[in-house]
Structure 1
């Protein structure tokens, strides 16, 4: 009987250990206080400042004189993708454009609001761009729905021999919620550069 009692006691201890291992540590009876930032960190400094638009005055001036300005707001870049350049006006039929020239490459990148065509007014713009372009991305920092289809000019995929697209003309078609036109953004500096430009897009000032 004594031996049997010892065995039962040992088995009970093993079962208890197994249960503890399976269930883990019990939650405390009272909620834990939230973790505060270190005392040397200003909580207000944790919010990143709003990005600064590029060529905002030039973009606004070009947009104001465009035939489509009543249906499409100006669209601006807030990053140069690490490639500073000189902004200038560029010609786009029925719309407006701002090109950026580096010392080595004229029209190295840019943004445009082309004239509106019938296809711009049709339903299913996301499907249109997904079917037209080899790559598609949603743009969460613009009024929704906002998205872009992109690739090489002519809606072609990037070439196997130059997969990064450097030296080729990368082009994107962009749709922004509440806007009638299909914006363009381009870069001759590669696919990665174009993708940075796309994520930096914001609606520009109209006054």
Structure 2
């Protein structure tokens, strides 16, 4: 027992921490996403997502309503639904293959992003809400409603990801999303 405590104390003093596997680490918003996903009509075709790391600023997760689907919104003090992600209810276009989905999103949204941390092919079309470019006077989209439509390889739904903070924050969210095992 003393040896174990001594080893832990030495590790803490040296700044080294025991490694934790991704299997035992809960992702940000995971519990809420799993809870909402379990109640959703589209749970067979739209796996839950969560964030790999907490954002700055870090919001408080809560359920977000998406008819037929599931959602997690993050509230900040004074800003309800500051950011979040959702698996929307099944739309007829959601059954199309990735090539058709990519073309649809490219035509609809002013910006596209590949998402290498999600199963391939994963990509997002995004911009200011309403599928608009960010204005020249505010290319960073600070304080605007940024929205992305996201396709994840192997899933048959269009995910929504949003940020009312900035374009950079939305892009950070897209890069930090992880698909949860069902």
Alignment partners' CA distance in 2, 1:103 and 1:81:
14
Structure 2 matches for 1:105-116, cutoff 5 A?
Answer: 105-116=79-90
Q: 2:68 aligns to what?
A: 94
Within the alignment, does 1:172 sit opposite 2:148 as a pair? yes
Contact 2:50-2:178 at 8 Å conserved across structures: yes
Distance 1:155 1:108, change over 3 A: same
Q: 2:54 aligns to what?
A: 80
Greater strand share, structure number: 2
Contact 1:60-1:205 at 8 Å conserved across structures: no
Any runs of at least 4 consecutive aligned residues in structure 1 with deviations exceeding 6 A, and if so which?
A: none
Q: 1:131 aligns to what?
A: 107
Within the alignment, does 1:62 sit opposite 2:42 as a pair? no
Alignment partners' CA distance in 2, 1:155 and 1:110:
17
Structure 2 residue runs of 5 or longer lacking an equivalent are: 1-15
Q: CA RMSD in A?
A: 2.0
Structure 1 residue runs of 5 or longer lacking an equivalent are: 1-41
Q: 1:30 aligns to what?
A: none
Q: 2:135 aligns to what?
A: 159
Per the normalisation by structure 1, the TM-score is 0.73
Alignment partners' CA distance in 2, 1:201 and 1:101:
18
Larger Rg: 1
